[in-house]
């Protein structure tokens, strides 16, 4: 949370041994003396109670968000605003990719933390909980009360507060989940939102999601499957306004749309070169936001048309500025990312910089935030064109440069940007949105443009 105001609260029975650490501007530390205990079980029982009291007495009126993190831990890389949400949980690294049967839930019905054998989705770690103070207060108060009942009944859940936390998250879904995906054991937390309907509490009646597709030339053939699958899976229950940019408006298929959903076709000039389409895409999104979306929608996504929805994509994906990890580079090292490495280009990223490689097939967020993104990328593309240089992956290269210095507030895992030509990773439970397999030669896409398909 570099650049944000942070108030650390350290609970300890040894206040005199708390080290002096230089704190940045707007950051402070408060030491709270607590009773000693040599038993982690007792500490675990008291932790929920102490967080509850801290929120009620102080945090509820002084902070917008709160995290409780285990002290025997260390930060290795950026942890920023992408981690913020109403209620935040983290997948336990040791159980990531395991089946429900392997989760060490509390299985004894006598405990308040009991979870039946046929229930449960993930196993959450007790080392990280967070969110809005009122949401976290409800969580810790519920867990504390259940711990009290267990104590009165002389039973201890197998993993104490962690067992009760898992019970709480099973029936009170968090709005943001951190996965312990390949790079996240030691790097940024990637938002992996495995969700069901009602997962995030938004008022459907007050949210419109604008969504753009670019279907030029032969790409118009992908619209039918894309739109039909979107009606099944994309922001179901919310108002959605599809904007289809195409040079073949008469070939846009008729698809039955649900209540509160509409489609607008915008005729554009033809082009046989994907490079030219790429250059113009940012400009057209910029104009659309300025002319219409800024006053008519709360969020906007721009999605590649040669794609299809396969599972639920809902409010968990909404954020101020949203990016998606490129599936072909997921888990790869920085050295393998195909950033633009020529200093002459405005998309240039030095060899020793960069955290993730983002796919250009999915961008989204609040209209004003996306407007700033596309305008910046469009201007940089214009400078490159004037200097007669093309970034290696055009708009995607400029997008990665933008996200490097303007961090997205939400990062979607490759569940939201897969490729049908890729084998599904063993730990992935679902593919939500994926690029469909196609004949690139027939579609007029160069072999170079499909650089990731053979990685």
Confidence of residue 172 (pLDDT cuts 50, 70, 90): confident
Residue 254 burial (C-beta neighbours within 10 Å; 0-12, 13-18, 19+) = exposed
Is 384 annotated in a binding site? The answer is no
Q: Catalytic: which of 344, 396, 415, 453?
A: 396
Do the domain assignments include residue 197?
no
Do 279 and 177 lie in one domain? The reply is: no
Q: Which of 162, 191, 220 is the last residue of a domain?
A: 191
Mean pLDDT of 146-151: 93
- Known catalytic residue: 231? no
Do the domain assignments include residue 432?
yes
CA distance linking residue 144 with residue 124, whole number of Å: 17
Is 392 annotated in a binding site? The answer is no
Do the domain assignments include residue 1?
no
Do 237 and 309 lie in one domain? The reply is: yes
Counted residue by residue, the chain has a size of 455
Do 439 and 366 lie in one domain? The reply is: yes
Is 305 annotated in a binding site? The answer is yes
Number of domains in the chain: 2
Is 368 annotated in a binding site? The answer is no
Do 268 and 174 lie in one domain? The reply is: no
Do 183 and 276 lie in one domain? The reply is: no
Q: Which of 191, 212, 234 is the last residue of a domain?
A: 191
Do 274 and 164 lie in one domain? The reply is: no
Is 306 annotated in a binding site? The answer is yes
Q: Highest mean pLDDT: which of 66-80, 245-259, 316-330?
A: 245-259
Do the domain assignments include residue 199?
no
Torsion region of 378: left, alpha or beta (phi above 0 gives left; psi -120 to 50 gives alpha): alpha
Do the domain assignments include residue 364?
yes
pLDDT beyond 80 at 161 = yes
Is 396 annotated in a binding site? The answer is yes
Name the nearest CA neighbour of 18 among 10, 26, 28: 10
3-state secondary structure of 283: helix
Do the domain assignments include residue 198?
no
Do 81 and 217 lie in one domain? The reply is: no
Name the nearest CA neighbour of 410 among 279, 330, 292, 299: 299
Do the domain assignments include residue 123?
yes
Do 172 and 290 lie in one domain? The reply is: no
Q: What is the DSSP string of 31-51?
A: EEE----S-HHHHHHHHHHHH
Asked if residue 435 lies in contact with residue 304, where contact means CB atoms within 8 angstroms, the answer is yes
Give the pair of three-digit tokens for residue 141: 């108060």
Name the nearest CA neighbour of 338 among 428, 453, 247: 453
pLDDT beyond 80 at 81 = no
pLDDT at 325: 93
Q: For residue 426, what are the domain limits?
A: 204-454
Asked if residue 124 lies in contact with residue 92, where contact means CB atoms within 8 angstroms, the answer is yes
pLDDT beyond 70 at 39 = no
Do 450 and 322 lie in one domain? The reply is: yes
pLDDT at 447: 34
CA distance linking residue 183 with residue 70, whole number of Å: 20
Mean pLDDT of 192-197: 34
Do 450 and 310 lie in one domain? The reply is: yes
CA distance linking residue 53 with residue 451, whole number of Å: 55
Q: Could you tell me which residues are beta bridge partners of residue 363?
A: 302, 323
Name the nearest CA neighbour of 399 among 309, 338, 344, 440: 338
Query: Which CATH number do you get for residue 86?
Result: 3.90.550.10
pLDDT beyond 70 at 60 = yes
Do 228 and 375 lie in one domain? The reply is: yes
Give the pair of three-digit tokens for residue 264: 């607008």
Give the pair of three-digit tokens for residue 186: 């030691």
Q: Which of 191, 221, 238 is the last residue of a domain?
A: 191
Do the domain assignments include residue 151?
yes
Strands (E), 20-102: 27-33, 66-69, 87-91
Mean pLDDT of 332-339: 90
Is 340 annotated in a binding site? The answer is no
Do 289 and 267 lie in one domain? The reply is: yes
pLDDT at 364: 96
pLDDT at 448: 35
């Amino acid at each position: 949370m570099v650049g944000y105001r942070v108030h650390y609260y350290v609970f300890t029975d040894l206040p005199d041994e708390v080290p002096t650490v230089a704190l940045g501007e707007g950051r402070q530390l408060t030491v709270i003396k607590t009773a000693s205990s040599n038993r982690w079980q007792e500490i675990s029982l008291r932790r929920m109670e102490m967080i509850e009291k801290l929120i009620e007495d102080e945090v509820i009126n002084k902070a917008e968000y709160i995290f409780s993190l285990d002290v025997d831990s260390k930060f290795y890389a950026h942890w920023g605003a992408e981690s913020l949400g109403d209620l935040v949980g983290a997948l336990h690294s040791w159980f990531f990719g395991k089946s429900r049967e392997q989760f060490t839930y509390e299985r004894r019905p006598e405990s308040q933390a009991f979870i039946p054998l046929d229930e449960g989705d993930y196993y959450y770690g007790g080392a990280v909980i967070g969110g809005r103070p009122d949401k976290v207060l409800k969580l810790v108060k519920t867990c504390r009360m259940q711990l009290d009942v267990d104590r009165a009944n002389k039973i201890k859940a197998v993993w104490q507060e962690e067992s009760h936390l898992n019970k709480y998250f099973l029936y009170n879904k968090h709005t943001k989940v951190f996965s312990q995906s390949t790079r996240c054991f030691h790097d940024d937390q990637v938002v992996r939102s495995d969700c069901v309907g009602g997962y995030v509490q938004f008022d459907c009646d007050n949210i419109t999601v604008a969504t753009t597709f670019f279907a030029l030339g032969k790409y118009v053939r992908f619209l039918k499957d894309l739109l039909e699958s979107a009606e099944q899976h994309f922001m179901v229950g919310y108002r959605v306004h599809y904007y289809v940019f195409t040079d073949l408006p008469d070939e846009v298929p008729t698809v039955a749309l649900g209540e509160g959903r509409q489609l607008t076709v915008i005729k554009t000039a033809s082009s046989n070169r994907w490079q030219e389409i790429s250059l113009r895409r940012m400009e057209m999104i910029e104009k659309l936001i300025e002319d219409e979306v800024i006053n008519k929608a709360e969020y906007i996504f721009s999605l590649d048309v040669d794609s299809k929805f396969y599972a639920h994509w809902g409010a968990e994906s909404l954020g101020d500025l949203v990016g998606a990890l490129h599936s072909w580079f997921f888990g790869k090292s920085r050295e393998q990312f195909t950033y633009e490495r020529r200093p002459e280009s405005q998309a240039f990223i030095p060899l020793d910089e960069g955290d993730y490689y983002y796919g250009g097939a999915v961008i989204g967020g609040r209209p004003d935030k996306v407007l700033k993104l596309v305008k910046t990328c469009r201007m940089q593309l214009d400078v490159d064109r004037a200097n007669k240089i093309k970034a290696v992956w055009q708009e995607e290269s400029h997008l990665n440069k933008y996200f490097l210095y303007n961090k997205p507030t939400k990062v979607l895992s490759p569940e939201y940007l897969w490729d049908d030509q890729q084998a599904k990773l063993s730990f992935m439970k679902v593919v939500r949105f994926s690029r469909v397999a196609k004949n690139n030669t027939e579609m007029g896409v160069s072999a170079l443009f499909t650089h990731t398909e053979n990685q």
